[in-house]
Structure 1
Amino acid sequence: MATEITDSTAASDWGKADFEAIYNCPDPQRYFTTLQPLEYQIPQHGQAVFRAVTDALQRRRADRPPLGVIDLCCSYGVNAALLNHQLDLSDLYDRYAAHGPGAPQPHQLAEEDRTFFATRRRPDACRVIGLDAAEHAVGYGERVGLLDRGFAENLEHDEPSADLRKALADIDLITVTGGVGYITARTFAHLFDCVSSPPWVAAFVLRTVSYRPVSALLARAGLVTEKLSTRTFRQRRFADGEERRAAFTALAGHGLSTVGKEADGFYHADLYLSRPAADVAALPLSQLFPG
């Protein structure tokens, strides 16, 4: 399925604090230790949304169990952990951010994690493919069993590998919880060139970032994109005043008010769901996410 790559570039300087050092460590401990004080919470919102979406997809595609999901900007497999296991984000904070000086070494933690997640796996678990440029993080997610397959590839700059193309052929759902801005329509175009039929796309997108280039590309691939209008979702606290000012400037540029949203000190994200028109008609967004 050929899709056109729009002329959009990754936002490498868009006002957010630089946390690059925590995204490609040998294990997730520094990631969670750094983000816990900022009340990073978007994966917890993702758990409820992605479970609702996968439940709906499973009902519509009962002939294809288990569902195939690709999580973009997957890091250590956090979304896969929350989607497929009996735990929540607070359990992951307790596990990775509470060790202090006695923290286990990465190989020891990985061994323990294999058992930890295996004993909590849900019987209706999806097959999750992880995609992220951070090779150590992706590798950890694979080693502990969170990712059925992991690909350390950067589709902003490179074509998908032959192995990734093969893995994506029958995917049902694409998920992302905040990576849009770092990745653009270019990554989505590469993904849609690999699929045999259009998957659903569930994306949490910071309000400081425009989703229009991605939704336009998805429309050309045959998907209707809807934004949940009833609420936004907190991502994390602003790291400092500079980050807050940059966010407010970006939001003003989009003509958006911060009242009741970013004025509370947190980044807020919108939820977008893209589906074929027939699926939109059969299951309105208000029924999928009531309240």
Structure 2
Amino acid sequence: MRTGETVKMSFDHIYTRPDPRAYFGTLRELDYSIPELAKPHFRRLISEYREACGAPAPTVLDIGCSYGVNAALVKYGATMEELYHRYADRDARQRTRESLLTRDRELVRSRGRTDPVRFLGLDASEEALSYALEAGFLDGAVHADLESGEPTDEQRARLDGADLVISTGCLGYVTERTISRILGGPGGNRPWMAHFVLRMFPFEPIAETLGAAGYRTVRHEGLFRQRRFATPQERAGVLDRLSAAGVDPTGVETDGWFYAQLYTSQPHPPRPARAGNRPETRGSK
């Protein structure tokens, strides 16, 4: 592990393995829980979108989706504790990648989709996307780093198929550049959005980008635990950053946890319901 410019520990190595065992094994030790806390809010937003836009099976774009965690929770009713057992217990360490995939596919088949929604994953890790697609958690994927460049024409078509955009902690590393490229400029797609953003990162630049595109953003009440600090150095660095930004960490991050806030953004006026078929969204390189 290393500490980057953001003062938050870097766990880059756990996102590029061929299966999720390192991911869940590492994050379990830190009580990583934000996807579980986010799940009811995502489900509520999906339901509100269906009612407002008449879309029975909307497509959700998950920024920084890694191994399809949010899709597993929202579509198939999994819990973080269940996923920790599946990938971090002793039995998981003895399995092959194909054995893990077979078990995941059985979960997908046995439960069906608890919520009729399609998930499109956006991530810079080809390994994580490949696993989530093979397991059946994701319906499609865009392998891209939109911080560093524009999407290809094929990726643009896939991104334009999104009805909602969500994230659980990647904004801050991912900036308004990615959000702007998802929107695609004037006349582009205008999906609804819900982002859980760590308090150490300002949301204003993203809110301004969305505002210029005709969005209204709401910061919701409440704070959401993401994970415990990995080291005393990480804790000290985060507290210093919060104080420098004018955010009081007393009784919040001083307790030893990262905390996130929920922001939802919707275009105004709301866009009409889509007509016709959606583009195919399996893999994209």
Answer whether TM exceeds 0.5 for this pair: yes
- Structure 1 residue 125: deviation in Å? 2.5
- Structure 1 residue 114: deviation in Å? 1.1
- Structure 1 residue 264: deviation in Å? 1.4
Match of 1:122 among 99, 103, 113: 113
CA RMSD of aligned residues (A): 1.7
Match for residue 259 of structure 1? Answer: 250
Match of 1:243 among 213, 220, 234: 234
The SS at the match of 1:248 is helix
Match of 2:136 among 133, 142, 145: 145
The SS at the match of 2:16 is coil
- Structure 1 residue 254: deviation in Å? 1.5
Match for residue 49 of structure 2? Answer: 57
The SS at the match of 2:226 is strand
The SS at the match of 1:208 is coil
- Gap regions ≥5 residues in structure 1: 1-10, 280-291
Q: Does 1:27 align with 2:19?
A: yes
Match of 2:215 among 220, 223, 226: 223
Match for residue 82 of structure 1? Answer: 73
- Structure 1 residue 151: deviation in Å? 1.6
Taking structure 1 as the reference length, what is the TM-score of the superposition? Answer: 0.87
Answer yes or no: is the 8 Å Cα contact 1:170–1:196 preserved in 2. no
- After superposing the two structures, state which structure 1 stretch, 111-120 or 130-139, moved more: 111-120
Match for residue 266 of structure 2? Answer: 275
- After superposing the two structures, state which structure 1 stretch, 234-243 or 193-202, moved more: 193-202
Q: Does 1:105 align with 2:100?
A: no
Deviations for 1:208-263, whole angstroms, at most 9, x for unmatched residues?
011111111000111111101x2110000000110001110111011111123112
Answer yes or no: is the 8 Å Cα contact 1:188–1:214 preserved in 2. yes
**Cα separation, partners in 2 of 1:59 and 1:259, compared to 1, 3 Å:** same
- Structure 1 residue 67: deviation in Å? 0.4
- After superposing the two structures, state which structure 1 stretch, 91-100 or 67-76, moved more: 91-100
The SS at the match of 2:111 is coil
Answer yes or no: is the 8 Å Cα contact 2:86–2:92 preserved in 1. no
Looking at structure 2, the residues matched to 35 and 96 of structure 1 have their Cα atoms a distance apart, in angstroms, of 11
The amino acid of 1:83's aligned partner reads V
Match of 1:191 among 158, 175, 182: 182
Q: Does 1:181 align with 2:172?
A: yes
Looking at structure 2, the residues matched to 257 and 121 of structure 1 have their Cα atoms a distance apart, in angstroms, of 44
Deviations for 1:1-24, whole angstroms, at most 9, x for unmatched residues?
xxxxxxxxxx95110112111011
- Structure 1 residue 112: deviation in Å? 1.8
Answer yes or no: is the 8 Å Cα contact 2:74–2:115 preserved in 1. no
Looking at structure 2, the residues matched to 251 and 34 of structure 1 have their Cα atoms a distance apart, in angstroms, of 25
Looking at structure 2, the residues matched to 110 and 161 of structure 1 have their Cα atoms a distance apart, in angstroms, of 30
- Structure 1 residue 100: deviation in Å? 5.7
- Structure 1 residue 117: deviation in Å? 2.3
Answer yes or no: is the 8 Å Cα contact 1:67–1:126 preserved in 2. yes
Match for residue 208 of structure 1? Answer: 200
The SS at the match of 1:38 is coil
Q: How many aligned positions are there?
A: 267
Answer yes or no: is the 8 Å Cα contact 1:12–1:182 preserved in 2. no
**Cα separation, partners in 2 of 1:266 and 1:15, compared to 1, 3 Å:** same
4+ residue runs of structure 1 moved beyond 3 angstroms? 194-197
Match for residue 48 of structure 1? Answer: 40
**Cα separation, partners in 2 of 1:100 and 1:111, compared to 1, 3 Å:** closer
Deviations for 1:121-172, whole angstroms, at most 9, x for unmatched residues?
3343311100000000011111111111112110111211222211122321
Match for residue 67 of structure 1? Answer: 58
Q: Does 1:158 align with 2:126?
A: no
The amino acid of 2:205's aligned partner reads P
- Structure 1 residue 99: deviation in Å? 2.4
- Gap regions ≥5 residues in structure 2: 271-285
Deviations for 1:45-81, whole angstroms, at most 9, x for unmatched residues?
111110111011111122x331011000000000111
